[in-house]
Amino acid sequence: MSCRLALRDLVDVVRPARPVASVYLGSSPLRGWRARWARLADQLRCDGAGAQVVETIGEVLQRARATYPDADTLVAFAGEELPPRVFATPGLRHRDLAWFSSPAHVLPLLAWLQERPSRVAVTAGRDGTELVAGNDRRVVLSYPAPSWRQGVRSAAAACAELLDRHEARLLVVAGEDEVVGALWEALPAPVRREVVLRWTGRDLTPHRIAVETRAAARSWTDDVLADFHSRGRARRLSVEGVDETLAALAAGRLDDLLVGHPEDITATAWYGPAPTDVARGWSPSRRCGLLADVAVRAALLSGTRVHVITAGGLHEDIGGLCRVPLALVRS
């Protein structure tokens, strides 16, 4: 059982071509666990899930409830080709939902994960620096106040190592402006080019870190949308709507997939085992799935970046940016 979520976990979840049970046990229940689970289990069985899958996913959810009693939403997946996985998602407000479908239904998790990118938080001072990566990796460096500049250079090296190890491009820093400036200048130039710094003054409480992290994440998504509307359209590097987007995914030309959330649960597409084997129409060699899930699976398995946006922002709530002009995608 795993309760920490990373993007690579979702790649594993969407990989199976056969149906997967996707269960969201939401927050603020109006009914007790037994009644809620009975309804969810009935839905899985109605969708075609076998007794073993239903029993397995019920067991992992019950264990997770005992381990994480204050979790806002628990999300679990299981199938014939997928060992059970369960994730606690603090801050995700989702209704109870159970689907036995293919591919697995991960878009709400992607939206939740998108607002919580990897980051390193730093409290920089004249007599020491504390660095925290994620929620558990903590590094404390102490140095004499008279030689704080040398100490900050050591802290910058440790910071660069943590950013690389956690594949983070966000640095949230608290401290005096002079010290923070010295820390930033001491970072290697390639790190400064890739990383966004958000300075919080002297406030580095968990709440402030969360606020700054979400703000940075939303800014990155806004930048991708702006790129889509300006550079993408001007240079014919953007696709929009179901047909164009699936064609670009099938051709392996998409760098960034944009998907609207909440998703349209009536729109469908077809897919095969291969990552880019996707189409809008029926095929005897493919399976039918929810459009958003099919597109997300193709993107995740082929290394395409996925950006979840507010529904209504694109035609048919799907589009993307290509690495080559649209004329070549269509050829």
Could you read off the pLDDT tens digit of each residue along the chain, which spans 331 residues? 556 688 899 999 999 999 999 999 987 666 788 899 999 999 999 999 999 999 999 999 999 988 887 788 999 999 999 999 999 998 898 999 999 999 999 999 999 999 999 999 999 999 999 999 976 678 999 999 999 999 999 999 999 999 999 899 999 999 999 999 999 999 999 999 999 999 999 889 999 999 999 999 999 999 999 999 987 777 788 999 999 999 999 999 999 999 999 999 999 999 999 999 999 988 888 999 999 999 999 999 999 999 999 999 899 999 999 986 544 443 3
Distance (Å) of CA 240 to CA 58, 257, 268, 316, 317: 39, 10, 16, 8, 8
How does the average pLDDT of the chain come out, rounded? 91
Continuous segment of H or E residues that includes residue 197: strand 196-199
Phi-psi category of 167—alpha, beta or left, where left has phi over 0 and alpha has psi -120 to 50? left
Separation between Cα atoms, residue 177 and residue 172, nearest integer Å: 13
Q: Are 123 and 199 in contact (CB under 8 A)?
A: no
What is the pLDDT at residue 331?
35
Separation between Cα atoms, residue 244 and residue 329, nearest integer Å: 9
The pLDDT tens digits of the residues spanning 164-198 come to 998 999 999 999 999 999 999 999 999 999 999 99
